[in-house]
């Protein structure tokens, strides 16, 4: 049997096909169906699940947005990011499940019309009000309309006789106070068990693999603590700027856009203690425990940057975007040191770094171990475990070995697991497909709970308010560079990161 068939069968036995097997009449309403997020992520993810036969056969998908569109226009937009290699017959069959309703986000009559459409399609699925039905309300929307839409859903669409699930995209607020207000407003409408706050980084293959790596392998967990680890770095790099979306980005900045959510969620999984089980609440309890032990970030432990035009002038600077205020101090690069004050991690600095318009696309976790005590050999380099989340999923351990042959010189090599070479015939799904499947299966494990969200904003809000109140100017850095001056020295000075004295370069699989 091939690896792919073995892997596929293995995944299905782990309950991923629960919703498909139970085959409850299911309706998915995608709010913001005319927007980029729905076009680029939500509908392609649903199509992927359809192709894998992981959707219930009794399913209806309804797009809802303010834009006036015919059914043909909606179908064209919904499939525009499927790719030219998508099977035509599969696409046509998928589109038979999809329809479109136009309406405003704050008009009760429009939502009543939506409810009528849902009920009509549920009847076509051969179910009635007494059936065990599922309704998923996916908000691919800007945060300014979250509460309006949630209110209209609850008052005009919600059906207490069936299972209701509300999916909310980030950003979840702007700071601690606004986040609590949003949580209170949503909590007044829906039970926490009905809310799925989506952070797509929790659906990425290598992030989902961290729990297995740690708690299924004795040798990793044995050295996963302050006694052996010197420092941890979590890095997010994008090779492009705001690309005409500067005005929107300027409302948030890199800290709110990436660090407070994506990177902090990854940190909580890397740092958490072993949960009592793999149940959603046990996992989220452990993540929240970690966040509660992180001290608020200090300005002196932070490096901020904002990109300017590239050296050759071919790429514009952040403030060259006409939608960005000329006096903007919004960081497009940020690097922070955090400290987890518990027995496992006390004294180990954590660095999270994120930036736009840098030299490459990369998201990785770098765990550097301490020097070898009482070593027979000189401490020329430290061991490192590197987990590359994207763009090429891989994991490698930097290891000191003897050079091959007659030489007794030391060399730096690696134990390497690159998914592209090891699992070359396995298709790794987009994170959104993974998370939408979790929603259908009612699994909250990879979604953010309200108390997690509260702790995340507690950690970052004082820093954000200080930056804005004191108008801390970010350091300039050229588009396409590695970041502002001092970024590399920062991790050496602040966290004791030690660079190898041995020649080493890891090559990603081609």
Residues designated as active site: 262
CA–CA–CA angle 251, 256, 258 (5° rounding): 120
Q: For residues 232 and 85, give the distance between their C-alpha atoms in angstroms, rounded to a whole number.
A: 40
Widest CA span in the chain:
82
Distance of alpha carbon 167 from alpha carbon 159, whole angstroms: 16
Q: Is 415 helix (H, G, I), strand (E, B) or coil?
A: strand
Report yes or no: 197 and 472 within 8 Å, Cβ to Cβ: no
Q: Give the pair of three-digit tokens for residue 199.
A: 């952070």
Q: Supply the DSSP symbol for 245.
A: -
> What does each C-alpha distance from 163 to 55, 99, 200, 460 come to in angstroms?
16, 21, 23, 35
Burial class (CB in 10 A: 0-12, 13-18, 19+), 434: buried
Cβ contacts of residue 454 below 8 Å, gap of 6+? 176, 179, 180, 183
**Strands 302-308, 475-478: pairing kind:** parallel
Task: Kindly state the tokens that stand for 283.
Answer: 């996992």
Q: Is 496 left (phi over 0), alpha (psi -120 to 50) or beta?
A: left
Length of the chain: 510
**Measured distance CA(43)–CA(191) in Å, rounded:** 26
170 φ, ψ (degrees, to nearest 5) = -70, 160
Count of alpha carbons within 13 Å of 98, Cβ hemisphere only? Answer: 26
SS3 of residue 346 by DSSP: coil
Report the 10 Å Cβ neighbour count for 300: 7
**Where on the phi/psi map is residue 347: left (φ > 0), alpha (ψ -120 to 50), or beta?**
left
| Cα 261 to Cα 255: distance, rounded to the nearest angstrom | 9
How far is the C-alpha of 447 from the C-alpha of 265, rounded, in Å?
10
Burial track 451-466 (b if 16+ CB lie within 10 A, e otherwise): bbbbbbbbbbbebbee
Which contacts qualify for 176-185: CB closer than 8 Å, 24 or more apart?
A: 176/454, 176/457, 176/458, 176/461, 177/461, 179/453, 179/454, 179/457, 180/454, 180/457, 182/143, 182/146, 182/147, 183/450, 183/453, 183/454, 185/147, 185/150
Ramachandran sector of residue 405 (left: φ over 0; alpha: ψ -120 to 50; beta: rest): left
DSSP string, 160-182: TTSEEEEEEESP--SSHHHHHHH
């Amino acid at each position: 049997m091939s690896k792919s068939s073995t892997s596929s069968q293995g995944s299905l036995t782990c309950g991923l096909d629960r919703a498909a097997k139970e085959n409850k009449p299911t309706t998915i309403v995608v709010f913001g169906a005319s927007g980029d997020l729905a076009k680029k992520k939500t509908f392609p993810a649903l199509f992927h699940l359809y192709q894998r036969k992981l959707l219930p056969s009794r399913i209806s998908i309804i797009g809802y947005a303010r834009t006036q569109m015919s059914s043909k226009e909606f179908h064209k937009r919904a499939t525009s990011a499927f790719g030219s290699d998508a099977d035509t017959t599969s696409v046509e069959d998928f589109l038979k499940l999809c329809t479109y309703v136009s309406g405003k986000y704050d008009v009760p009559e429009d939502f009543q019309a939506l409810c009528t459409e849902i009920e009509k399609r549920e009847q076509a699925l051969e179910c009635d009000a007494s059936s065990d039905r599922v309704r998923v309300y996916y908000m691919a929307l800007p945060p300014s309309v979250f509460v309006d839409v949630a209110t209209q859903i609850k008052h005009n669409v919600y059906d207490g006789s069936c299972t209701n699930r509300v999916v909310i995209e980030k950003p979840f607020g702007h700071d601690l106070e606004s986040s609590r207000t949003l949580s209170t407003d949503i909590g007044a409408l829906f039970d926490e068990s009905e809310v799925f706050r989506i952070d797509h980084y929790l659906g990425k293959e290598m992030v989902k693999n961290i729990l297995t790596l740690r708690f299924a392998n004795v040798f990793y967990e044995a050295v996963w603590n302050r006694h052996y680890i010197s420092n941890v770095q979590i890095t997010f790099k994008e090779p492009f700027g705001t690309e005409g979306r500067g005005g929107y980005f300027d409302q948030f900045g890199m800290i709110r856009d990436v660090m407070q959510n994506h990177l902090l969620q990854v940190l909580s999984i890397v740092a958490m203690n072993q949960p009592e089980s793999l149940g959603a609440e046990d996992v989220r309890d452990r993540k929240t425990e970690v966040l509660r032990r992180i001290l608020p970030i200090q300005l002196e432990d932070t490096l901020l940057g904002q990109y300017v035009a590239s050296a050759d002038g071919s790429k514009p600077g952040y403030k060259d975007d006409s939608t960005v205020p000329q006096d903007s101090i919004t960081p497009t690069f940020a690097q922070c040191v955090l400290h987890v004050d518990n027995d496992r991690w006390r004294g180990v600095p954590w660095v999270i770094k994120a930036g736009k318009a840098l030299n490459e696309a990369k998201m990785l976790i770098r765990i550097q171990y301490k020097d070898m005590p009482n070593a027979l050999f000189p401490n020329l380099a430290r061991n490192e475990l590197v987990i590359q989340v994207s763009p090429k999923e891989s994991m490698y351990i930097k290891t000191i070995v003897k050079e091959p042959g007659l030489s007794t010189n030391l060399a730096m090599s690696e134990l390497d697991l690159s998914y592209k070479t090891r699992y070359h015939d396995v298709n790794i799904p987009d994170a959104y497909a993974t998370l939408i499947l979790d929603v259908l299966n009612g699994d909250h494990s990879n979604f953010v709970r309200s108390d997690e969200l509260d702790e995340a904003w507690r950690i970052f809000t004082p820093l954000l308010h200080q930056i804005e109140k004191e108008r801390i100017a970010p350091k300039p850095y050229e588009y396409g560079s590695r970041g502002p001056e001092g970024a590399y020295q920062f991790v050496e000075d602040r966290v004791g990161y030690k660079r190898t004295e041995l020649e080493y370069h890891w090559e990603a699989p081609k």
